[in-house]
Amino acid sequence: MDEIVSPRAQKLARQIQRDIGEILQRDRSYSVPGVMVSVTVVRVSSDLSFAKIYVSVFPFDRHKEVLAKLKENAWSVRKALAAKMRHQIKSIPEIAFYLDDSLEYADSIETALRKL
């Protein structure tokens, strides 16, 4: 995906982030019991045909289970997204879920620094 992002792509990414967050909170069929999932970043390709959705998982040790469930249900999440955005965009981008482990990385650095 291109580094230079158009204002339209940025606006679409923000809208997808809000809508996917709502979809994951509202519909429990996409979730894993006892796990909180947050949509942290959405990156949309310059041609608006593909969106990378980064999620943060708490507790982190169950991230593989959550990502597997999201990837298995990506088509139905995209369908729910299409229902929410049908009047805003002509074609809903393909979606893919990725793990955002930046919080865990920052926590591991902080823990290492405390040990010094």
Question: Given this model, what pLDDT does residue 2 score?
Answer: 43
Of 18, 23, 12, the C-alpha closest to 78 is: 23
pTM here is: 0.84
Instruction: Report residue 104's pLDDT band, with 50, 70 and 90 as the boundaries.
Output: confident
By CB atoms closer than 10 A (0-12, 13-18, 19+), residue 12 is: buried
The rounded percent of the chain whose pLDDT value lies above 90 is 58
Residues in the chain: 116
Q: Residues 46-91: pLDDT tens digits?
A: 899 999 999 999 888 898 999 999 999 999 999 999 999 988 888 9
Q: Which residues contact 85 (CB under 8 A, 6 or more apart)?
A: 15, 16, 19, 92
